A = this chain, B = another copy of it.
Amino acid sequence: MDYQLDDALPVLRRTPEVLRALLTDLPDHWVHATEGPGTWSPFDIVGHLIHGERTDWVPRVEHILRHGVAVPFPPFDREAMFTQSAGLSLPELLDAFGALRDENLERLAALRLDRAALDLQGLHPDLGIVTMRQHLATWTAHDLTHVGQVVRVMARQYKESVGPWRAYLPLLGPA
């Protein structure tokens, strides 16, 4: 499937609602469950998505428009949420993510990117030359990846409880 803004925007728009549907009012140990030391909980993942809204997705669109390949993107801190989410509740994080996503989709719409703009190039600090289209496709794939991570973390809490059915549920990991 070739990347088209009109396909991708509806997916980006609903991610906050998907996370609310998955997580609101769940017992707390689901929200803070992880896959072991050094791995992320659903709570951490929402914080990571918030940091992306603040410093990655639309800021890098604007960076490409302003600098092209002349200036690399500032590096993205994948683990900023461990300090930035401290003291916040999950509902606060979900509200913050929803508000930031709405604002960012408005900022993006205001830029009125046309097909030519999708071919513009930027400079990633590790990956090198990338295009606006690749960056925007990654925004959507990144959302879906982290929704997938939330359900994987949750499913794995039952990796022992499901007994022999584990053989049918590869998401739970090898026995």
Write the residues of chain A forming the contact surface with B, with a CB cutoff of 8 angstroms: 1-3, 6-7, 10-11, 14, 17-18, 20-22, 25-27, 29-30, 33, 124, 127-128, 130-131, 133-135, 137-138, 140-142, 144-145, 147-148, 151-152, 154-155, 157-159, 161-165, 167, 169-172
Contact = CB atoms under 8 A, between A and B. Distances in A.
Contact of A137 (B27, B128, B162): B162
B6 A27 contact: yes
A162 B148 contact: no
A157 to B, nearest CB: 4
A134 B167 CA distance: 13
B141 A172 contact: yes
Contact of A155 (B2, B144, B159): B144
Dominant secondary structure of chain A at its interface with chain B: helix
- Ranked nearest first, the 5 interchain pairs of A and B with the lowest CB-CB distance are A134-B163, A137-B161, A144-B155, A1-B157, A3-B161
A165 B161 CA distance: 36
Given A144-B155, A169-B145, A134 B164 contact: yes
A107 B119 CA distance: 55
A5 to B, nearest CB: 12
A111 B72 CA distance: 61
